[in-house]
Amino acid sequence: MSATAPEIDAGFSFDNSYHRELAGCYVDWQAATVAAPRLLKLNRALAGELGLNADRLDSAAGARVLVGNSVLPGAQPLAQAYAGHQFGGFSPQLGDGRALLLGELIDRQGRRRDLQLKGSGRTPFSRGGDGKAAVGPVLREYLIGEAMHAMGIPTTRALAAVATGEQVFRETPLPGAVLARVAASHLRVGTFEYFAARRETESLQRLLAYAIARHDPGLADHDRPALAFLAAVVGRQAALIARWMQVGFIHGVMNTDNMTISGETIDYGPCAFMDRYDPATVFSSIDHHGRYAYGNQPGIAVWNLARLAEALLPLIDAEPDRAVESATEVLQRFGPAYESHWLAGMRAKLGLVAAVEPAGPESGPETPADEMAADDRALVRDLLDILHAQAADFTGSFRALADVLDRDESRLRVQCRDPAALDPWLARWRARLRVDPGLASPERARAMRAASPIYIPRNHLVERALAAAVEEGDLEPFEALLEVLGDPFTERPGLDAYTQAAPDGGAGYQTFCGT
């Protein structure tokens, strides 16, 4: 067990509302003591956001804190309880089987943020596992989370990756590590499912009140707080999934215990980014039927949110039929909200500045705004169809489209097996641009590049960096890739290798859960 040892003053000041207000929703626990903790990577910028002293954290004493060997005053380590639907099947008890919430920090902007250790050893929720993590998955989560953050996509983030000096045993022995992770909270859809499945309505009510106070304080006095909270989560998830789709991100394991209430991306296990555009793309080795394929993600999000709605039904209305009717109406908002976010983002990628949205049902179906929205939707989907048929690179194609405005079509055409297939679409796009007000071509091209990253975590580059770290103890490829991904929209000389898809377009690439 870890011992309380206040041996470092790095500015930690905990205020642990989850521990204080939600007794029964967790188990107090301690991290397993590890042999030789050593910092692999400290996120100094994030430490600064949290009001922490990065220089003091970047030390042997800091490593002991960030791996759980030393528990600072004010920290109250706990394993959270939650349930979850995993690949459609319900598990009534999951919980933090290899993670501990150390406590909560108030950052420099006044935001409450969880500090959690992942890979810190067995807990009462471990279900026979060892509770450990390996260096590869820990560095993957660090890398992908920081890439998502740099692209402006809500995400949990890594404060540190710490080697444990021990081996974990999977198919082969691997070097062990712990991830220190920061999140707006670790409340999940599965957290609500846990208490709903037990019919513990009082605990469910306390959890709802806590979630509202933490994430939606403006709803505290709402006449139907549970319904308003559901609507807020639906809205956040619609915006999040649209952002995933706009950059070709595939989460890989969209179980309800991996969907946050905050609207942050969480748990980068078998995640990956598409090279060739194909809505059926699946990378996860355990997703045998494509449940969580790229193109299925919006539908799965609705399915998950329906499970949240089911959990909240007793709090939405005492009359079951009315509760179902109200929840259904809220869930039906996901589609239009997602479509609006998705279309706005895709318009930006096409350089369409005018934010013309459907005028609404009261205006009738034939308004000019509706027609333009439908035309833009068709313009985007037809381009995606071409990219699919041509086995074109998703990221490279959208980035190269901005070059066309600079009178250079070469980088776009090289993406396609038959470049002539682009010609009819390009003619339609140019015609649409002529009626889009606001920007001259150079400014429009810059706006397009600000909406389409040139550098993403290409799967072969991620694997190369992780292999060097795990097999050779060489972090230089990881550090180099992390630096490139920290500025994903700005093209820089000498980085062409980071823009290239895998030679085979990623065919046969598989990812694995980071257990």
- In angstroms, the CA 268 to CA 141 distance is 5
CA 3 to chain centre: 33
SS (H, E, C) 94-143: CCCCCEEEEEEEECCCCCEEEEEEECECCCCCCCCCCCEEEHHHHHHHHH
First-last CA distance in the chain: 21
> What's at 316, amino acid-wise?
I
| Six-digit token string for 480 | 């180099």
CA–CA dist 126, 123 (Å, integer)? 5
Contact status, residue 284 vs residue 324, Cβ threshold 8 Å: no
Cβ count within 10 A of residue 22: 20
Question: CA of 396: how far to CAs of 149, 218, 401, 468, in Å?
Answer: 20, 42, 9, 26
Distance of CA 25 to the CA centre of its chain: 24
Residues 61 and 70: their CA atoms lie apart, in Å, by: 8
Q: Which amino acid is at 415?
A: Q
Residues 272/233, Cβ–Cβ less than 8 Å: no
Q: How many CA atoms does the CB half-sphere of 446 hold within 13 Å? A: 4
List 96, 114, 216, 257, catalytic entry: 257
Q: What are phi and psi of 294, to 5 degrees?
A: -50, -55
Residue 317 · residue 327 · CB < 8 Å: no
Alpha-helix runs per DSSP H in 290-363: 297-316, 320-331, 334-349
Known catalytic membership, residue 257:
yes
- Among residues 189, 316, 206, 302, which one has the least CA distance to residue 256? 189
Q: Quick one: how far is CA 66 from the chain centroid?
A: 22
Rounded to whole angstroms, what are the CA distances from 399 to 150, 358, 446? 17, 27, 11
- Active-site positions read 257
